[in-house]
Amino acid sequence: MSTGKVHPKSLNGFKSLFETLYPSLCLFANKYLNDMDTSKDIVQEVFMKIWERDTPYPNFYAIKALLYTSVKNRCLDYLKSKYHRSMVQSPDVDFDHMLSEEFFSTQLTLIDTYAQLATAIQQLPKKSEAVIRLALNAYTNKEIAEELSISKNTVKSQKRIAYKKLRHALGSLLNIL
């Protein structure tokens, strides 16, 4: 995504913005709502409002910040709504915590970290990628070997290759964490 001026009424620019941020924004909204379908609906609503607003933004980071803040606010509005309270049979949500800047920053950092990790995993060689995805889903080396029809030693080798490449690709991110 370019860091130059972003105008949402540019179809190509808007499409690129949507494709870049939609998955992360949905995960972010889901941290508030714990309901992926509603999260997707809210993110789509926010994108539609940005489209309708027809306002140019100074750069990608400005519109990204606006989108995350708008999604957060829309999620909190949804949680406060009478509809939600009547439909969900759960204890009251801790709005004070969710309204805090700390919660917002933490969730934003987690989603950005996840997006960077997902991108780095996609860049791995296919066999290493498959091994790491299974390992992240709590498969043991034995289970990974059985699932991929490879030896346990090959699993270990592929993990070493993947971890080395991930450390290199995510070096600055790992230092931050």
Helices and strands of the chain, counted as H and E runs: 10, 0
Q: Is 95 helix (H, G, I), strand (E, B) or coil?
A: helix
Q: Is the pTM of this model over 0.75?
A: no
- At residue 33, φ and ψ (nearest 5 deg) are -100, -25
How far is it, in rounded angstroms, from Cα 138 to Cα 49?
A: 40
What are the phi and psi torsion angles at 57 (to 5°)? -115, 150
C-alpha to C-alpha distance for 97 and 93, rounded to whole angstroms: 9
Interval 66-112: pLDDT, tens: 899 999 999 988 888 866 566 555 556 676 777 778 888 888 888 88
pLDDT at 146: 92
Assign domain 1-94 one CATH number from 1.10.260, 1.20.1440, 2.40.160, 1.10.1740: 1.10.1740
What are the domain boundaries of the chain? 1-94
Classify 6 as helix, strand or coil: strand
